Amino acid sequence: MKRGIFFLSILVFVFLINNSVAQQNATMVVEANILADKTVETISIEVSDYVFLGNVSKGEKSEDFKIEINNTGTVNITITPQLKNPSNVIFRNLFFKDRTGDNRSEFYKIGDYSFDIEKPSSSSKRKGWCYMWLDLENFGGQIESDLIGEQEEIIFVALPQS
């Protein structure tokens, strides 16, 4: 009988411990919607709509014009200006450079010039610029009459830096 009471006591003790542990611990289901990375790299720029280069005759060149281009995207970019109509014999003589001044030793013809603009940091855009001019000093073509209002579109091609 003492054995029976002893085993009964152990069973009651084990039962109480299991119930008290079960009451102290609890479980929870955790749920979340895990979304794909939505960091999309975008290329976006702003450039002036129009620049008037002034009066330029054969054998002359225009003044240097500062062309501001803003990187409004999310990646570092390389900008390359190109003529929309590359067969335009007048505006194929547009030149570009990084710095102003009389030193034109580091200048490039349109289509051969590129420059970089880093991505914006805290603001929504990062400014970049270059200088452009029309150089007809060595123009070999014929200009038989005044070309008032002569225009051409420049496409500023923006690509991510590699």
- Asked if the structure places residue 39 within a domain, the reply is no
Q: Bigger pLDDT: 144 or 80?
A: 80
> H or E element: which one contains 80?
strand 77-83
Is 10 a residue whose pLDDT tops 70? Answer: no
Phi/psi zone of residue 59: left (φ > 0), alpha (ψ -120 to 50 degrees), beta? left
Please give the pLDDT value at position 49: 94
Residue 8 included in any domain:
no
Domain contains 37: no
Domain count, the chain: 1
Work out the average pLDDT over 80-84.
Answer: 96
Residue 35 lies in a domain: no
Is there a domain that residue 146 lies in?
Answer: no
pLDDT bucket at 22, cuts 50 / 70 / 90: low
> Stretch 131-146: mean pLDDT, rounded?
92
Q: Hey, is 151 helix, strand or coil?
A: coil
Write the CB contacts of 54 (distance below 8 Å, at least 6 apart in sequence). 62, 63
pLDDT at position 3, please? 61
For residue 88, is it within any domain? yes
Q: Does residue 34 have a pLDDT over 90?
A: no
Place of tokens 């914006």: 120
User: How many C-alpha atoms does 88 have within 13 Å on its Cβ side?
Assistant: 19
On whether residue 15 sits in a domain, the answer given is: no
Which pLDDT score, from 0 to 100, does residue 79 have?
96
Residue 6 is assigned to a structural domain of this protein? no
Q: Residue 26 has what pLDDT?
A: 81
- Tell me the CATH number at 88: 2.60.40
**What pTM did the predictor assign?**
0.72
C-alpha–C-alpha distance, residues 133 and 110, integer Å: 10
Q: What is the mean pLDDT of the chain?
A: 86
Q: 28 pLDDT band (50/70/90 cuts)?
A: confident
Query: Which domain covers residue 49, as residue numbers?
Result: 45-141+152-160
